[in-house]
Amino acid sequence: MGKRALLLLATVTLIVSACGNVDEGSQESSDNDTPNTTASGADLQTHIPSTQPGVTDTEIRVGGVASITNPLGGNYDRSFQGVKAYFAMINEQGGLYGRQLELVAERDDQVARNQEEIQALLSEDIFAVMPIATLLFTGADTLAASGVPAFGWNINPEWSGPPNLFGERGSYLCFTCGLPGGPWLAQNNGRSNVGILAYQVPQSADCAKGVKSAFEKWPTAEVVFEDTALTYGTTDFSVQVGKMKDAQVDFVATCMDTNGVTNLQRELDEQDVDVTQSLPNAYNPEFVDSFGDLFEGSYVLPWAMPFESADPVPALANYLEWIEKTDGEKDELSMAGWLNADLFYKGLVAAGPEFTRQSLIDTINQMQWDADGLIPGVDWTIAHESDPDTSCYSVVKIENGEFVPQFQEPGKPFVCFDNTSPTLPDPPENKAGIFR
């Protein structure tokens, strides 16, 4: 793999947070998932013969691909764990339409072989492609042209557009779009001077543009320092921190990997610069176990309801129960796989027992889906092409080496903002999600 490709993939997974945005045990869904995804136990066991690929008398089969072998040391195969945990939950309840849900292929694209592995999956006897958790998505065009429903971890711009590609947070991805999360965090913490750091590769630099545009749209603080020409792998941030100190930076937003933000924070401490840092890709138990003391007071904005929530919705309790039962690891990647499986299942329920690939795609694209309150919500009538007018966030703060949920109210785990408003509310509105 070329050096440029390595730099691109090293940053693409780290910048998504700058953009974007009923109890499963009963097999019933929220009324907010439209069309109707609620069905009785008898309806869910209606068995009708099918000639669809990957659908047998006893199984509905899917296969996925992840960058299992990768130069970043990322655990992208954990997306498989999330799918298998969700399927195990459903199968214990009797499956769907008299069939078990089965993940029958787990391919490793080794980053550079995404096109080949996608093509190989399409030649297998599967109904859908799921999950996809890859650093590069070079097989996107092939998958889109196939018309096969596909579900995955949306960190690549190639997810945007095709109606059969479904990301766990929607399929639209705009690196340069400014959203209110960063400006609100600065406002809430009484910070006034912003420093932005990013690598010189396009995705990271575009992420920095998105951060800057957010502070231009909601000027809760002033961007007084930016360096978006850093070389990937930089370990010495002494010059940048010295300049930030001179500029009295007190809020730092980066578009860098874990190694980068860790080395940066060490230098900030060395030069005694007191900042609040917003971490782009750090909601991981292993990260906080290793570096929690270093990042005391920093914030992360996970997409789903935090694992540590004091008042978890039943869907979160189900995830935590079944990821443990199936020997998986709780983190953002297994959660992404779980969400992919939830959307797949809810779409099949709504499509009915005579489902086809196309009816599943068409049905999901009419849905408003929030995984029973586990995520803020995705409006699939627009989610291939644009962001909604409302942004909702989970917020966790690193305190005493742990993630501690912030700004939650009972039954209302998300803070929400009107993206079209020129001002940010203080405090923001707590909600159960966009559709609740």
Return the CATH number at 336.
3.40.50.2300
CB 390 within 8 A of CB 20: no
Cα→Cα distances 139→8, 111, 124, 146, 413, Å: 16, 11, 16, 11, 36
272: left (phi over 0), alpha (psi -120 to 50) or beta: left
**Structure tokens, 4:** 């440029």
Strands 402-405 and 378-379: unpaired
Tell me which of 351, 379, 407 is where a domain ends: 379
146 and 65 assigned to the same domain: yes
Give the pLDDT of residue 372.
Answer: 96
CB 22 within 8 A of CB 83: no
| Residue 12 domain flag | no
147: left (phi over 0), alpha (psi -120 to 50) or beta: left
203 and 131 assigned to the same domain: no
Alpha helical stretches, state H, 24-138: 41-44, 78-92, 114-122
51 and 163 assigned to the same domain: yes
CB 173 within 8 A of CB 13: no
108 and 190 assigned to the same domain: no
| Cα end-to-end distance, the chain, whole Å | 46
Task: Supply angle C-alpha 237, 72, 84, rounded to 5.
Answer: 135
Could you tell me which of 151, 168, 29, 137 has the C-alpha nearest to residue 101?
Answer: 151
Number of domains in the chain: 2
| Residue 9 domain flag | no
**Does residue 407 sit in helix, strand or coil?**
coil
| Residue 248 domain flag | yes
Domain housing 210 = 176-302+388-436
Per-residue pLDDT of the chain (436 residues; tens, 9 = 90+): 554 444 445 444 444 444 444 333 333 344 455 566 666 677 899 999 999 999 999 999 999 999 999 988 889 999 999 999 999 999 999 999 999 999 999 999 999 999 999 999 999 999 999 999 999 999 999 999 999 999 999 988 899 999 999 999 999 988 888 889 999 999 999 999 999 999 998 878 888 999 999 999 999 999 999 999 999 889 999 999 999 999 999 999 999 988 899 999 999 999 999 999 999 878 988 999 999 999 999 999 998 999 999 999 999 999 999 999 999 999 999 999 999 999 999 999 999 999 999 999 999 999 999 999 999 999 999 999 998 999 999 999 999 999 999 999 999 999 999 999 999 988 889 999 999 8
143 and 272 assigned to the same domain: no
Whether cis (ω within 30° of 0) applies to the bond prior to 131 is yes
**Structure tokens, 343:** 């959307």
Give the pLDDT of residue 38.
Answer: 63
Give the pLDDT of residue 15.
Answer: 44
* Count of all residues that appear for the chain in the document: 436
230 and 250 assigned to the same domain: yes
Look up the pTM and report it: 0.91
Tell me which of 340, 361, 379 is where a domain ends: 379
Give the pLDDT of residue 16.
Answer: 45
267 and 411 assigned to the same domain: yes
Cα→Cα distances 279→170, 396, 427, Å: 21, 10, 22
| Residue 436 domain flag | yes
DSSP element (H, E) containing 369: strand 368-369
Residues 6+ away with beta carbon under 8 Å from 97 = 44, 45, 46, 47, 48, 60, 348, 353, 355
257 and 403 assigned to the same domain: yes
| Residue 35 domain flag | yes
Tell me which of 379, 405, 420 is where a domain ends: 379
- Edge-to-edge strand order for the sheet containing 100-108? 100-108, 59-66, 128-133, 150-152, 165-167
Distance of CA 250 to the CA centre of its chain: 28
276 and 423 assigned to the same domain: yes
| Residue 14 domain flag | no
| Residue 307 domain flag | no
Give the pLDDT of residue 74.
Answer: 86
99 and 121 assigned to the same domain: yes
Helix, strand, coil % in the chain, rounded to nearest 5: 35, 20, 45
39 and 163 assigned to the same domain: yes
* Alpha-carbon gap, residue 262 to 243, rounded angstroms: 18
187 and 42 assigned to the same domain: no
Cα→Cα distances 244→190, 191, 204, Å: 17, 14, 20
| Residue 1 domain flag | no
